[in-house]
Amino acid sequence: MIYRINIDGKSFNCPEGQTVLIAMTRTGNTFLPVGCCSGGCGVCKVIVLKGDYETKVMSRAKVSIEEEAKGIALACRILPASDLTICRVKA
Give the model confidence (pLDDT) of 12-67 as tens digits. 999 999 999 999 999 999 999 999 999 999 999 999 999 999 999 999 999 999 99
Specify the pLDDT at position 64: 96
pLDDT at 2 over 80: yes
* Cβ 76 vs Cβ 42: under 8 Å: no
pLDDT at 90 over 90: no
Specify the pLDDT at position 91: 61
The pTM of the whole model exceeds 0.85: yes
Angstrom distance (rounded) from CA 12 to CA 5 = 5
- Give the Cα-Cα-Cα angle 28, 73, 3 (nearest 5 degrees): 50
